[in-house]
Amino acid sequence: MSLEIRDVKTICTAPEGINLVVVKVLTNEPGLYGLGCATFAHRHLPVVSAVEDYLKPYLIGRNPQDIEDIWQSCMGMSYWRNGPVLNNALSGVDMALWDIKGKLAEMPLYQLFGGKCRDAVPCYAHAEGRDIQETIEQVGMLKEQGYRNVRAQVAGYGGNMSEPMGIKSSFSGSFYEPKQYMRSVVKLFEELRSTYGEELQICHDVHERLTPIDAINFAKEMQKFNLLFLEDPLSPEQSGWFSHLRNHVTVPIAMGELFNNPAEWTELIVNRMIDYIRIHISQIGGITPALKVARLCESFGVRTAWHGPPDMTPIGHAVNAHIDISIPNFGIQEWHAGNNNVFSSEKETNLLQEMFPGMPVVKDGNICLTESPGIGLDFDEELARKYPCSKEIVTWDWMLPRLPDGTAVRP
């Protein structure tokens, strides 16, 4: 009997109040299935439809080992491609097929990619406070937990203003003033270096909150702090400015959290305009394209720093780590996943570990993988269904940034 895909399921769950989407691909071999992350937290319902109404009918009966052909076919058959809904849907399937491949080989995923290049995966965690002192304290807490790489923010992305323009605005959102934001971050990093010296590697996420010329001037100011990197200083729409940024500053640049399309990252990589690629692996379609991006980056001296936020499943975090541990041009890994993190409650931590048994853990600032076959973790569907996703439009305040006069800008 030849191996075939028998069923494809999507399970939505929100154990930490964040909508997550898991894809489960089942085969005609009893007990053999794969799991994948298809989380697009802010638009999860269209992803579910893309998987169940469009990908599933094509996948039933296919050999799950034909990963490359399935990926290429599913990407092309929609005709219009490279959007976040299709990419996340395809990612869930793609990861699940790789999970099956690892289980068939009785090897952890990283072995299929060529084996280990390192013993563990160094990662960084996020520290954020309402003011500079609170941020410094949060950094200290992470340092005590063993982290040696920390991203630091103050008062949210771009900094928040309680009274924009001194009047009550008719618009809703997260208000910030760019010049004030830049000054507060420079002061924060002066205090961080004064407090911790050079013993920590520190980075900062601009999150595209600046105009191109302000981003260049801000990067110049941040050079003196010997950053691990400055993250997303420009938006994907302003990528033409990266050549100017590169010509004026030497601070390492990390870019790509919002990328969906190879056209967005290829030029930046081959022209050596960035130092770290920050793409979200499910956002570009899963493991299959991520491995190709990693190899492209290797040829041009660019390192990886995959996006690893709270709005992705532990499956996605594990996939990040499997690729990280197996490639020579790994840089650093963002870490959340709810476990061993100062910003997650013990209740949430235990719940995630119960729902995703075998999920990776962090020890002394390093992600540790198991030797279990495939991606290496399982999923408790029954428990997951007890924590349903919200059907309301999911929009966090920081996703609606505004200038003091009310002008909407992109997050």
CB within 8 Å of 355: residues ≥ 6 apart: 13, 15, 379, 380, 383, 384, 387
Evaluate whether 384 touches 13 at the Cβ level (below 8 Å): yes
53's tokens: 């109404």
Q: How far is CA 70 from CA 56, 122, 279, 374, in A?
A: 11, 33, 22, 18
- Return all residues near 85 (Cβ < 8 A) that are at least 6 apart: 40, 43, 46, 47, 50
Candidate list 126, 207, 280, 336, residue with the active-site label: 207
Bridge-based pairing state of the strands 333-334 and 361-363: unpaired
Q: Is 1 helix (H, G, I), strand (E, B) or coil?
A: coil
Catalytic residue list contains 276? no
Place of tokens 């500053």: 249
Q: For residue 176, indicate whether it is catalytic.
A: no
The Cα angle at residue 100 between residues 285 and 305, in degrees rounded to 5:
40
Q: Which of 167, 161, 139 is nearest to 151 (CA)?
A: 139
Rounded (5°) CA angle 102-105-108? 40
Q: Could you say which of 110, 157, 181, 276 is catalytic?
A: 157
Catalytic residues, by residue number, are 157, 207
